[in-house]
Structure 1
Amino acid sequence: MAPMLRFAPSPNGPLHLGHALSAIANERMAAALDRPLRLRMEDIDRIRCRPEYEAMILEDLAWLRVVWTPPLRRQSTRFDRYATVLAELTRRGLVYPSFASRREIADHARVVGVARDPDGAPRFSGDAAVIGAEEAERRRQLGAPAAWRLDMARAVNEVGRPGWTEIGPSGAGRTAAHFDPMSWGDVVLARKETPTSYHLSVVVDDADDGISHIVRGADLLTATAVHRVLQVLLGFPTPLYHHHGLVLGEDGRKLSKSNGALGLGAMRQAGWTADMVRHEATARETPPPPLPTR
């Protein structure tokens, strides 16, 4: 399989300027390296992801003149593949079922105070501290729904704390980067309501699709530590990474669908041209943060 890049939006709402920036960054590196650009729909959320949003994404990319190479990949068609990988990690004792709810985890964190992961969520290290070992066992025996979490300490003990290579926007340059995966705690690899998670599906898909260069926003920079652990555990190839800057809103936060960022379709209806949007997205890119190193 020829090395390639991928743009991987979630069809849970319209694209905005931040997505446009990421699509353009992928497009430009693919052109610089003379490699194909694939399109992947990260649609594992079967409630929020909808066909109409996928149609909007395809329309927006065509309008922006971002050319991608078929076929279109949809994560929702690959649940069996993710289940196979999760079963392998389970067999090796690297994942475990967790019965604590998000509310219970949040309540416990407020009461006792716990360290936070890079996304600001409570760092999780097992049900025992949250709901107690006996309650966790009771729920297991009752067949209660469980999330499946990576035992990060056991994983790090097996493969260490692998770093990665960060490259420039055109694919040139090499910089060693590293972030401690233990800072994330025991991340979720399969949710109670979804048979996978972002961390698991993105790592499996990138390996299966032969993605050699991963271009994505700087908000995912530290998550690369988790992905590198999984790649080494599963014997997957090591991609090169480029984490570009973000587009921020007036409130100083990155643009997101959840905080009402204006969609590209709405911008088009308001009179923006594709060239104007491409210029605006790249002009508003923030400088990427300093690379984490050892």
Structure 2
Amino acid sequence: MTIVTRFAPSPTGYLHVGHAYSASLAYQKAKGAGGRFILRMEDIDGTRCRAEFEDAIFEDLAWIGLEWEQPVRRQSEHLDDYAAVLERLFAQELIYPCFCTRKEIAAEIARSHSAPHGPDGPLYPGTCKELSADEREANFSKGLPYALRLDMSKALDKADVSSLYFEELDKGFIQCDPERFGDVVLARKETPTSYHLAVTLDDALQGVSLVVRGQDLFEATHLHRLLQHLLALPTPKYLHHGLVSDIKGRRLAKRDKSATLKDMRENGYSPEDIRKLIGFSVKY
């Protein structure tokens, strides 16, 4: 089977050397096996994504020697795809609307002395889970903001999670434990998809067979595998690499201007310097 990898940044800032490592590793895994490398823009966040950052991503990746297939998929241009899978989950009664504000959720959690926690923090307490159809319709009629949440208990019943695994290249098969995410948000009224839903569907639609990404997203794979099962999507293999840190051991972020590829290029670094810095001593 042809290996297909991808690099999927959000155009909310300039790329840093950690991004260069992740993109280069995905590129090398594909090209080293005669496969395909895809670039995707995860640009759902309309308040933070900017065209200048997307242009900079193209420039930076080309500068360090990467090439990718055209056209580049932009999530913002495929909202109908995400709406369609949400409809499928609605039809299976696996998602429900939540009208709680973040403040209300925080207050409910604070009242509980044993609120369970997941990878993203305290789990949603299920306040809106038992609303009647009439109550939900009344809230929709009022124009209240809402989130669409996965009903985790129903999803687990449908999936038989004990038989769900994903393959990590350097660890073998790992049994899934998506319950730790609770009733996770899959979309909001103002944001038609979440990262979890969009990335799971996009990887399937684009035929990605090996997902290369940072270790910080390892836990999310448990949830993504559940969504793949519920939506009858193929399951890729995974490789979660270590994160690149600065000299003080802190994880790099887009706000760290001195580590951005743009700044390093402007300060005299060459593509060869970047490749050596991230451990790729020869041209791809």
The answer to whether residue 211 in structure 2 is matched with residue 205 in structure 1 is no
Contact 1:147 1:191 in 2 (8 A): yes
Instruction: State the one-letter code of the partner of 2:14.
Output: P
The residue aligned with 1:115 is: 116
Could you say if the C-alpha distance between residues 88 and 257 of structure 1 is closer, same or farther in structure 2, counting changes exceeding 3 Å? Answer: same
Shift of 1:216: 0.7
Could you say if the C-alpha distance between residues 262 and 109 of structure 1 is closer, same or farther in structure 2, counting changes exceeding 3 Å? Answer: farther
- Match runs of 1:162-181 below 5 Å: 162-168=164-170, 175-181=172-178
Shift of 1:145: 1.6
Q: Deviations over 1:10-58 (max 9, x none)?
A: 0011001111111011011012221110100000111101111000000
Instruction: State the one-letter code of the partner of 1:116.
Output: H
Contact 1:255 1:261 in 2 (8 A): no
Could you say if the C-alpha distance between residues 269 and 111 of structure 1 is closer, same or farther in structure 2, counting changes exceeding 3 Å? Answer: farther
- Match runs of 1:24-173 below 5 Å: 24-113=24-113, 114-119=115-120, 121-128=121-128, 139-161=139-161, 162-168=164-170
Q: Flag as ranges the 4+ runs of structure 1 deviating above 6 A.
A: none
Equivalenced residues, count: 274
Q: Distance in 2 between matches of 1:83 and 1:183?
A: 25
Pick from 183, 187, 199 the counterpart of residue 184 of structure 2.
187
Q: Distance in 2 between matches of 1:278 and 1:2?
A: 26
Q: Deviations over 1:235-271 (max 9, x none)?
A: 1111111111111235544222256673110111122
TM-score w.r.t. the length of structure 2 is 0.89
Q: Distance in 2 between matches of 1:187 and 1:66?
A: 35
> Larger deviation: 243-252 or 73-82?
243-252
Could you list the runs of 5+ residues in structure 1 that have no partner in the other structure?
169-173, 284-294
> Larger deviation: 61-70 or 247-256?
247-256
Contact 1:99 1:147 in 2 (8 A): yes
The residue aligned with 2:233 is: 236
Contact 1:179 1:222 in 2 (8 A): no
Contact 1:159 1:232 in 2 (8 A): yes
Q: Distance in 2 between matches of 1:156 and 1:82?
A: 21
Q: Distance in 2 between matches of 1:101 and 1:49?
A: 24
TM-score w.r.t. the length of structure 1 is 0.86
Shift of 1:274: 1.5
Q: Distance in 1 between matches of 2:257 and 2:62?
A: 23
The residue aligned with 1:287 is: none
Shift of 1:2: 6.0
Could you list the runs of 5+ residues in structure 2 that have no partner in the other structure?
none
Instruction: State the one-letter code of the partner of 1:28.
Output: Q
Instruction: State the one-letter code of the partner of 1:35.
Output: G
Contact 1:216 1:243 in 2 (8 A): yes
Q: Distance in 1 between matches of 2:112 and 2:250?
A: 29
Contact 2:95 2:150 in 1 (8 A): yes
Shift of 1:199: 0.7
Q: Distance in 2 between matches of 1:78 and 1:133?
A: 31
Instruction: State the one-letter code of the partner of 1:105.
Output: I
